[in-house]
Amino acid sequence: MLMVAADHGKRREVTPRLTDIDLCAWIAQAEAGTRLEYHRGFLGIDITPVISLLPEAERCQLAALGRAAFGACEMGLVHLVQERAGPDRFAYIAIARPTPKAAAASLSELLLAEPEAA
């Protein structure tokens, strides 16, 4: 995980930059109710090529993380919530749900599987 320092006034905050693989690994071992902040900022802006201030590689990595979080939510593995951290700044949080009992495949296989074409 890459550590990123963000300057907020006189206070410096260091937050881990997660990858989609890190998120999947966390979901696979997380107990129901545990929380993981996977991004702090404004996700919609931070992943948009024309307006994001992130370098291209980091922007693409963050977009993959957002897709992985949303996919895990759609599979019923996590709840996704946001908490306001300031003007135009949010904490994006995944909350682990109970592991599906009917899942025949491992959670890792479910999370890393390619989405089927509709």
In this prediction, residues 67-73 reach a mean pLDDT of 96
Instruction: Give 102's pLDDT tier (boundaries 50, 70, 90).
Output: low
CA 24 to CA 73: how far, in whole Å? Answer: 12
8 DSSP 8-state letter: E
pTM above 0.85, yes or no: no
pLDDT at residue 100, as a whole number? 66
pLDDT at residue 80, as a whole number? 98
Tracing tokens 């206070």 back to the chain, one arrives at: 11
H-helix or E-strand containing 10? none
pLDDT at residue 13, as a whole number? 41
43 DSSP 8-state letter: H
Question: What tokens appear for 50 in the block?
Answer: 């024309």
CA angle, residues 79, 97, 70, in degrees to nearest 5? 35
In this prediction, residues 48-77 reach a mean pLDDT of 95
User: Using one digit for the tens of pLDDT, what is the confidence trace for 18-57?
Assistant: 999 999 999 999 999 999 999 999 999 999 999 999 999 9
Within 10 A of 86 (CB to CB), how many other CB atoms are there?
Answer: 9
Higher pLDDT, 112 or 34: 34
pLDDT at residue 107, as a whole number? 63
Instruction: Give 17's pLDDT tier (boundaries 50, 70, 90).
Output: confident
Within 10 A of 37 (CB to CB), how many other CB atoms are there?
Answer: 14
Instruction: Report the half-sphere exposure of 76 (CA within 13 A, side-chain side).
Output: 6
